[in-house]
Amino acid sequence: MAGLAAQAAVAIDNARLFQAAERAKDQLEERVRQRTAEVETAHEALRQAQKMEAVGQLTGGVAHDFNNLLTVVTGNIDMATRALDAAGVADARSRRALENAMKGAERAAALTQRLLAFSRRQPLTPKPLDVDKLVQGMSDLLHRSLGETISLEVVTSPGLWRVEADPNQLESAVVNLAVNARDAMPQGGRLVIETANARLDEQYAAAHAEVAPGQYVVISVTDTGHGMPRDTVARVFEPFFTTKEVGKGTGLGLSMVYGFVKQSGGHVNVYSEEGQGTTIKIYLPRLMNEAAYADNEAAAVTPGVEISQKRETILVVEDDDDVRAYTVDCLRELGYRVLEAHDGPSALRLLERQDDPIALLFTDVVMPGMSGAELADLARERQPRLKILYTSGYTRNAIVHGGRLDSGVEMIAKPFTYAALAQKIRDVLDAGSTGRILVVDPDPTIRMLTMDALSGAGYACEEAATGSEALGKIRSAQGRYDLVVLDNNLPDRTGQAVASEIRALHLDLPILLASTSDVERLDALFASDDCTRILGKPFSSTMLLEGIGTLAGKCAPSHDTAEE
């Protein structure tokens, strides 16, 4: 009996071991199936990301070439319109033809801008944003876009984190999503825009290419439309893919949203069921270090087109002959002295041959051989205070990193108009400038004539009759002056002595020292000071403005105070 009991116990143990082995085998097989599914999902996400990146590279290159063509087209239409205005021609048919041509070119420019958005090549201007405030501020615009048959509900989230994004592009993205939702509800329906804080974990990030785990602000746009099948959802962000009828859409709206969000370091996801509706979620990274940002006031826009009063010299570098010719014509019409080059090495040779400094380098970003950024670095080695303005229809990564323009970089996107170019050039040249000049001369008549000439050139003037009065104004102004016109023969001390005291207060405040005698001696004395120029008396208005222009090129005031 004991033997039978032992055999039974062994059989029971074997059965238990077999069952445990079977369970372990089943668990292992299930884990293998799960892991295989995860790997396949990750590979599929990676393939999709690589496909979108390849299409993005293609569309970005096409947009660059197309923007060059559009710059020439819009520029010449603009020039033809201004020529009709100048000639006083009132031919309604010609004007209507030009207006229609310009509208077509502007629509084409908007199309290329969407291509750049998808390819993640548009220059962004990110800033700290309260997404709730931005969405609420769009309510009126969204109501008008949706029409009367669709109800709009905006659900905000108390304590919503702030994000860092370009507000204009985020508004465009929300409008694009709303318009797509409207088109999916032809019989009317309901659109809900909701904001919330969210955290994407490592498991979610592993299943989605180009998604980093972390804290995000999510904007959800939900409609009650007809929804989409799975194969449509898989292609919804591809450029030019659309389920709408021919002529009803470009297929670039959601592509633009995808490119903008990815360029901003975020993520987009689509949830859709046929007959039920669609939810598209935009995830933007939480702004973690808001203290690094200072509030910048919006720059004042100068109305109209400003003609150069100082005839500053601008070096234009552009490899496209037609774009360069249009740009040069515009700048010369605006009163600038213009030099031109077709590539970086030619521009550097021109720069080295100039006796007087160049006020601005206006260069394309993407050029064969030497990029605009490389040219700017080499040009500033030769002329450290040279101001730079870039232009491009496709920046690649030359001056845009992490989805934003590099610090201190100024750029105007192609295609640009005559008025836009005039405004941007003036803004860059006048950056950091107060436009105020202190005129120091004991003779009231000479002071008045000098101030009249400067006022005619657009400067605001203040006056002083003695060296002590001038120094008192400069000390109290705390860097308010852009330049001092200083007579050498003052009643209380020489202008030379006052200039030395000014230099002790401000390292780079430009000084135009006027003298009836000892011009050569003063020239030699101040030869090492790039921010001081000697002007012989008597001088004309032209000589005065040329002297200021030369100083502006050599010495752009930062109003730094000399160390004690």
Domain boundaries, the chain: 33-118, 127-288, 313-430, 436-554
Average pLDDT over residues 267-293: 82
In this predicted structure, the answer to whether residue 395 has a pLDDT above a threshold of 60 is: no
Cα separation, 246 vs 250, whole angstroms:
9
Residue 293 has pLDDT above 60, yes or no: no
Percent helix, percent strand, percent coil in the chain, to nearest 5: 50, 20, 30
The reply to whether domains 33-118 and 436-554 share a CATH topology is no
What's the rounded mean pLDDT across residues 479-497? 87
CATH code at 33-118: 1.10.287
Distance (Å, rounded) from C-alpha 5 to C-alpha 12? 11
Question: Would the pLDDT of 193 be above 70?
Answer: yes
Least confident of 140-149, 313-322, 343-352: 140-149
Residue 407 has what DSSP assignment?
T
Cβ contact 342:318 at 8 Å: yes
Sign of the CA dihedral with 420 first, then 423, 429, and 430 last:
negative
Q: What Rg, from alpha-carbon coordinates, does the chain have? A: 33
CB 308 within 8 A of CB 343: no
Q: Where are the alpha helices (DSSP H) in 88-218?
A: 92-118, 131-137, 139-146, 167-183, 202-207
Q: Which residue has the tokens 């290159």?
A: 61
- Does 32 have pLDDT greater than 60? yes
* pLDDT number for residue 179: 84
Percentage of residues in the chain with pLDDT exceeding 90? Answer: 14
Residues in the chain, how many? Answer: 564
Which pLDDT score is estimated for 300? 38
CATH of 127-288, one of 3.40.190.10, 3.30.565.10, 3.40.50.2000, 2.40.30.10: 3.30.565.10
Give strand pairing partners of 219.
195, 282
Tokens 């039978």 correspond to 4
Per the prediction, the chain carries an average pLDDT of 78
pTM of the predicted model over 0.75 = no
Q: Assign 3-class secondary structure to 373-400.
A: HHHHHHHHHHCCCCEEEEEECCCCCCCE
Residues ≥6 apart with Cβ < 8 Å to 307: 334, 335
CA atoms within 13 A on the CB side of 136: 9
pLDDT of residue 243: 59
Instruction: Report residue 441 as tokens.
Output: 């001369």
Flag the least confident range among 12-16, 113-117, 263-267, 288-292.
113-117
**What is the mean pLDDT of the segment spanning 343-364?**
89
pLDDT in tens, 35-66: 666 655 555 554 554 444 554 454 555 555 66
Alpha carbons 465 and 444: distance in angstroms, whole number: 8
Helix (H, G, I), strand (E, B) or coil at 177: helix
| pLDDT at residue 550 in the model | 77
- Indicate the helix (H) or strand (E) that contains 47: helix 2-87
Q: What local confidence, expressed as pLDDT, does residue 122 receive?
A: 53
- With cut-offs at 50, 70 and 90, classify the pLDDT of residue 217: very high
Residue 233 CA, chain-centre distance (Å), reads 32
Sign of the CA dihedral running 251, 253, 259, 262: negative
**What type of residue sits at position 397?**
N
Query: Which has the higher per-residue pLDDT, 115 or 471?
Result: 471
CATH topology classification for 436-554: Rossmann fold (3.40.50)
pLDDT for residue 64: 59
DSSP H or E segment with residue 13: helix 2-87
Residue 251 pLDDT > 60, yes or no?
no
Closest among 298, 305, 330 to 316, alpha carbons compared: 330
CATH superfamily of 313-430: Response regulator (3.40.50.2300)
